[in-house]
Amino acid sequence: MQLKRRFRVTGYLPNTVYRFAASAANSAGAGPENVPRTVFYVCGNGFKDTGAGCQCPAIANCETYAKGICACSKCKQYFTTASSGSSCKCTIDRTNCKTVARDGCSCQACKPGWAEDSSGGCTRITCAPLANCKTYSQVDCKCTQCNSGWGNCDGKDNTGCETLLNTSAHCGSCNAKCTLANAVPRCERGTCTIASCLSGWGDCDNNPANGCETALNTAERCGSCTNKCSLANATPRCDRGTCSIASCAPGWGDCDLKPTNGCETALNTAERCGSCTNKCSLPRATATCAGGTCKVASCDAGWGNCDGRDDTGCWGDCDLDPSNGCETRLNTTTNCGSCNTTCARDNATPTCSSGTCSIDTCAAGWGDCDNNPANGCETRLNSTTNCGACNTTCARDNATPTCGTGVCMVASCDTGWGNCDNDPANGCETPLTTTDHCGSCASACLARQQ
């Protein structure tokens, strides 16, 4: 193997491979070479023999190399040379770096809350405070989250969260209006609730979302959700939130005008018959109430209700008008004891006392000798056994009596007797055998002359 000659080369930049022409003189004192050849030498000062000369290995991130030695005199931006110049070291703190730039040292993007600075690192972002803002954008300091109960409703980045989200215009979120059916709404902790129901309405399902959904003017819910109208003996209704009476059950009335106790009064009594104000008062009768109509329970003594009709609730009414009760006295000869019962007795003037037909007086010449008024004055008073009066015997002394005119008279005198004083009461009082009355009254018997 032919050995290569080593030459000392002076006057040229070290660590550079040179080719010399044949005419070139070398530093060893040799004359010109006939054939150009490469001069080789030992590499030093950090250079490396590549087999084709001495070369300085590339130093990462070195911008300018030192002359004469293999060292970096100036590193790229963000890098610092080592004491020997053999390397460039990144001195940037990349703890808060999200992504590294292509130079391998500086931060291309920082973590939230940090921003790139001029030194290539990340500097904590300090945002100017915005009203009611809880968290900020780490990119542009915009408010990303408002404090509870606040909102950025004007859409302006520099005003923060300016709107309270607890009003009827902004309830829970911006522009969320709090409106509820039939209610005065209120926003409570961001939720639309009911402050109060409008008059006549209630929140009976306890669901504020549909407001006061129930009308409180029905019998089922009157004035409140739980107030069901239930009234005794009545059909209830709800009047302006208060239970009242639509109608009473048949036979009942609201006589005390207190709807709370319903229709409390039975309308089947004489005090209140058919209505609260209808008091049964029938003339000369004890009244009762049946079917809501005043009727006669009984008549006063000597009076009667005489039409015999059941619909009037009594035996009858002589004028067929039950409204005036027992209007007819039953002690007259036309209504004696009952209506239309005529009081008439044979041979007599009748009378009706206590409802019984009796004899007031007998007709002339007649008498009630059997004391039975039913057959009137049944006995003629012109007989010798009833002469002028019942059981009055017509008898005259010494005579045959007669009672043709109702007066006891002398029909004829017994033989030898005469009614010389013309007084029938003493009969034929005079014997006709005396000298003064000889054979007849006042017939004197003269003495015979001798």
pLDDT in tens, 111-126: 877 888 888 898 887 8
Instruction: Quote the tokens at residue 201.
Output: 């309405």
Helix (H) or strand (E) holding 214, with range, is: strand 214-215
Asked if the structure places residue 409 within a domain, the reply is yes
pLDDT tens sequence across 311-370: 333 333 556 666 666 677 777 888 887 778 899 999 999 998 777 889 889 998 899 999
pTM: 0.41
pLDDT tens sequence across 52-101: 556 778 888 888 888 777 888 888 888 888 877 788 898 888 888 999 99
Asked if the structure places residue 423 within a domain, the reply is yes
Asked if the structure places residue 434 within a domain, the reply is yes
Asked if the structure places residue 113 within a domain, the reply is no
Asked if the structure places residue 412 within a domain, the reply is yes
pLDDT tens sequence across 260-314: 999 999 999 999 999 999 988 877 778 888 888 888 887 776 666 654 443 333 3
pLDDT at 13 over 50: no
Which neighbouring-strand residues pair with 97?
Answer: 110
Asked if the structure places residue 340 within a domain, the reply is no
Instruction: Quote the tokens at residue 229.
Output: 């109208």
Q: Which residues of 44-80 are buried (b: 16+ CB within 10 A; e: fewer)?
A: eebbeeeeebbbbeebebbeebbeebbbbeebbebbe
Asked if the structure places residue 435 within a domain, the reply is yes
d(C-alpha 292, C-alpha 310), whole Å: 14
d(C-alpha 157, C-alpha 136), whole Å: 11
Long-range contacts, stretch 373-381, CB < 8 angstroms, 24+ apart = 373/345, 374/345, 375/345, 375/346, 376/345, 376/346, 376/347, 376/348, 376/350, 377/345, 377/346, 377/347, 377/348, 378/346, 378/347, 381/406
Domain of 444? Answer: 394-449
- Please tell me the total count of domains within the chain: 1
Asked if the structure places residue 433 within a domain, the reply is yes
Instruction: Quote the tokens at residue 27.
Output: 């530093």
DSSP 8-state assignment for residue 273: B
